[in-house]
Structure 1
Amino acid sequence: MMLQQVGGTASNLQMMKWAFLLSCETLSHGGKTFYQFIPYRYGPYSFTLNQETDSLIRNGFLEKGLDNRWNLTPLGKNLDIALPNDVSKDICQISEIYGKLSGQKLINLIYDKYSWFTINSDLPGRKRKRPVAEKSIYTAGYEGKTVDEFLNLLMESGISRLIDVRYNPISRRYGFHKSTLLRLCSSLKIDYQHLPGLGIPGSEREHLGSDHQYTSLFENYRCSLPSREKDLTNVSRLLKSEPSVLMCMEANPEFCHRNVLAQHLTTLVDMPVKHLGC
């Protein structure tokens, strides 16, 4: 709808910045399931929004020109989009206030107002220092989060390495499949490491429901850890070398093997356990 409001064409950069301003400067924030943003090369950016534009292109609603502009097709211009009234009004408001600003003016405006989004900037003289966490055994789960929200949490927490301890690193949620997550982390200068030897096979997690079943699963996992000496040595080395987080899916660490692993690691490295995003 925003692209319809501004005449059907805009640069990728402009659309990203308008969407960001919609999320930050309106009462609706774009709606309950609107995009989250991370600091990127020219300010706030959403990997999820960019990925969904590819879907619009495949379905014939949008074209991406050689000049990196998004252009609505006739099908896209005539698309009737049903949005809540408050979101529609806020889109019109953002379009009226910022719709005529160039990409560079939008960058300057946002950099001046939202300095966090300068930490990965490619623009000289506009880069805020990135936070660096104290060494700890950090853990985090991505359940319920977009990849943008999750990666922003890591950067805000001063994390520079993600240690994926899933046995099978696939996910239907965009951004959390191993190959995609590796690519996105790399673009944000977050080192990605996958240690499947510290995971639990999916076959052992089937039909979990009761507290007793979780207790039994984690007790078996705890007992198996001494036999995973090579992987434990590797993860200990990674934790010591730079601020790192053990990542798995579950939001609540009490229902995830990463918490059992983290507690065991306190016997190998002199660091406390800290759960991010809880």
Structure 2
Amino acid sequence: MILQQVGGTASSVQMMKWAFLLSCETPSHGGKTFYQFIPYRYGPYSFTLNQETDSLIRNGFLEKGTDNRWKLTPLGKGLDLKLPSDVSKDICQIIATYGKLSGQKLINLVYDKYSWFTINSELSGRRKEQRPVAKKYIYTAGYEGKTVDEFLNLLMESGISRLIDVRYNPISRRYGFHKSTLSRLCSSLNIDYQHFPGLGIPGSERECIGSENQYITLFENYRLNLSSHEKDLANVIGFLQSEPSVLVCMEANPNCCHRNVLAQHLATLIDMPIKHLGYST
């Protein structure tokens, strides 16, 4: 829809910044399922938007030239998008306001208005905020219900510099949370990625778990078995003590996730309080 409004072609920088401004400066924010953004090399960026754009290219709706410009194909131009009226109205407003600005002018405008998104800038002298550094806690976080952009932005805002994945089997249907992808995205943001499958719970042990008593039994068995993973625990303790790190699994509610049991066990071994990121009771 944005490309259709600007004549079918735009640079990747322009598209990313227009989408960001749509999410920040309009009543609809682009809709309930619109993209989230992280601070990246040239300001706000969405890994999810980029991934979906690649999918549109593969399916013949878009072309990407050597000059890094996106262009609608005849197939893409023929799409009849059915967006909510408020979103369509807001897209038109963003293009009317910012549609004639070059990529560089959009970068300058966004940098001036949204200083958080300059923290990872590769442009010399353009960082207007410093990336925060968290105090040493045993942090935990679950990505359930979040896009990978929203989740990684939470970690950066919280001052986290290492992600400790404690899933037994780190796969996900949700883009960005498969081990290989998550590791790559973390690396691009200077977040160290570590995986400890031995500290996870196999999916087979979670089958048919539906009651509170079953969860209590599952987590109690997990707690009792932790002593057999001394090497993994020692490595995790070393990571927690060296820089701000977060134990990550899927469930949003830490009380429904083994990472909370793990955090409580670690708290008996090292003098660090526990803090759950992105979750409030």
Cα deviation 1:99-149 (Å, max 9, x = unaligned): 110011101100110000000000111112100000000000000000000
Offset at residue 54 of structure 1 (A): 1.1
SS in 2 for 1:247: strand
Cα deviation 1:211-249 (Å, max 9, x = unaligned): 011000000001011111111101000000000000000
Alignment of 1:226-265 (within 5 A): 226-265=227-266
State how far apart, in whole Å, the 1-side matches of 2:199 and 2:60 are. 44
Cα deviation 1:72-123 (Å, max 9, x = unaligned): 0011112110000000000000011101100111011001100000000001
Aligned to 1:37: 37
State how far apart, in whole Å, the 2-side matches of 1:209 and 1:250 are. 14
Cα deviation 1:167-222 (Å, max 9, x = unaligned): 10000000000000000000000000001111111110111110011000000001
After the TM superposition, list the runs of 4 or more consecutive aligned residues in structure 1 that deviate by more than 4 angstroms. none
What letter matches 1:68 in structure 2?
A: N
State how far apart, in whole Å, the 1-side matches of 2:229 and 2:61 are. 51
Aligned to 1:219: 220
State how far apart, in whole Å, the 1-side matches of 2:151 and 2:15 are. 22
What RMSD, in angstroms, separates the aligned Cα atoms of the two structures? Answer: 0.5
2:213 counterpart of 1:208: no
SS in 1 for 2:95: helix
Offset at residue 64 of structure 1 (A): 0.6
Alignment of 1:1-278 (within 5 A): 1-127=1-127, 128-278=129-279
SS in 2 for 1:246: strand
- TM normalised by structure 2 equals 0.98
Gaps of 5+ in 2: none
State how far apart, in whole Å, the 1-side matches of 2:125 and 2:47 are. 25
What letter matches 1:5 in structure 2?
A: Q
What letter matches 1:184 in structure 2?
A: L
